[in-house]
Amino acid sequence: MLLLVPAHVSGLIAVNGEPSAVLTGIVWVIHVFRLPLFFAMSGYFLALMHRRRGLRGTLRNRSLRIAAPLAVGLVTLVPMLMALSEATGVSITAAGPAQSLFGLAPSYLWFLWYLLVIDASAILMLRFAPGIATRIRDLFAGAIGRPLGIALLTAPAAALLLGQSDWMPTAPTDTFRLEPAMLAYYAMFFAFGTALFAAPGKVQALSDSTGRWALAALASGLVALILFTLHNRSGAGTAIHAIQLTAFGIATWTSLHALLGLANRHLSAERPAIRYVADSSYWIYLAHLQILIPLLAVVLAIGVQPGLAFGLLTATTLLLTFLSYAAFVRYTAIGRALNGPRKRGPRMQLPDPTPIFSTTR
């Protein structure tokens, strides 16, 4: 989730008249795995919730964690973003600055909208067609950790992206109308996550072969990036487009294998610092643009070069959102809604002062 900040910084710098090939490459690399990993983890934790709390508890949890933040965000955060864009003149899309505060569009909260639809579909399937849900889960579980499985997963993923003109899997942000190809694309990774939960031995196997998966991800990602760059410069036909999407799909699935294996190997132990970052990331996703837009307006006004602006805006936005989470969110009703209750750590107890002088003899 934290990678959304540099991704949005790069994109906003570009749509405000300061495009950069390096920043475009950064966004492209981030998008190879960021959203697929989002949906894979969402599927994993929905399966975990279903195992622990049943369908009713899962429905209640998803309503609180996903539906409520989406509903509140649509009437507060999105209008605030539009107001800031209109006031500062900062473009938030290629169409330019916002023209009105309200509209029937999810804006940057589209991820929660798609996740809510996928969650609801999964819950309905578990309730009314559990056999189909099990077969889908087992199909994905059989593909995990196998080169042939990567090929079987890549083919439909690449086919679903054929309609994307810019070769990036992005859903529309200006409408609640679901894009069927994008919904199916992200649902694949959601199903992959449910399969991971059902087959814990697969995760351990990924840990044992993390290096090989990482090399495969780097090699296929490099091929896809080269083809993407060539397409941006001179255009490409359908055949090159399909080859690039295939390389992109292989890079996506192998990078997920590598990252999951790496995390299982090195991040299994509870660490307070990592827990804090993980908890704060949801709030940062929700609130970062409301901080970023005014900062970007200042940077554009004084003419900071794109590379330096990228570093300054990313670091400052992350710092301010981290601080706002600590001050206003973590131990409040907002924090409980986003992450569940969090207890404050024990305060340091000072020893009782020992009197230097005594009045008694």
Q: What is the pLDDT along the chain (361 residues), one digit of tens a residue?
A: 999 999 999 999 998 987 788 888 888 899 999 999 999 999 999 999 999 999 999 999 999 999 999 999 999 999 999 999 999 999 988 766 766 666 678 999 999 999 999 999 999 999 999 999 999 999 999 999 999 999 999 999 999 998 876 667 788 888 899 999 999 999 999 999 999 999 988 988 999 999 999 999 999 999 988 888 876 665 567 777 888 889 999 999 999 999 999 999 988 888 988 889 999 999 999 999 999 999 999 999 999 999 999 999 999 999 999 999 999 999 999 999 999 888 776 554 444 544 433 444 3
What are the tokens at 342? 């969090």
Count up the domains in the chain and report the number.
Answer: 1
Asked, for residue 350, whether it belongs to a domain, the answer is no
Asked, for residue 258, whether it belongs to a domain, the answer is yes
Asked, for residue 346, whether it belongs to a domain, the answer is no
CA angle 295, 36, 102 (to 5 degrees): 45
- 93 strand-pairing partners: 96
| pLDDT given at position 196 | 95
State which amino acid sits at residue 360. T
| DSSP state string for 260-326 | HHHHHHHS-S--HHHHHHHHHHHHHHHHHHHHHHHHHHHHHHHT--HHHHHHHHHHHHHHHHHHHHH
Domain that holds residue 217: 4-339
* Residues present in the chain in total: 361
Asked, for residue 203, whether it belongs to a domain, the answer is yes
141-169 pLDDT, tens digit each? 999 999 999 999 999 999 999 887 666 77
Contact 92, 288 (CB under 8 A): no
Q: What pTM did the predictor assign?
A: 0.91
Asked, for residue 352, whether it belongs to a domain, the answer is no
Contact 130, 81 (CB under 8 A): no
- What are the Cα distances from residue 188, in Å, to 41, 141, 157? 12, 12, 8
Asked, for residue 320, whether it belongs to a domain, the answer is yes
**Nearest-angstrom CA–CA distance, 57 and 64:** 11
What are the tokens at 22? 């390096």
- What are the Cα distances from residue 117, in Å, to 48, 145, 281? 18, 28, 22
Asked, for residue 14, whether it belongs to a domain, the answer is yes
Asked, for residue 353, whether it belongs to a domain, the answer is no
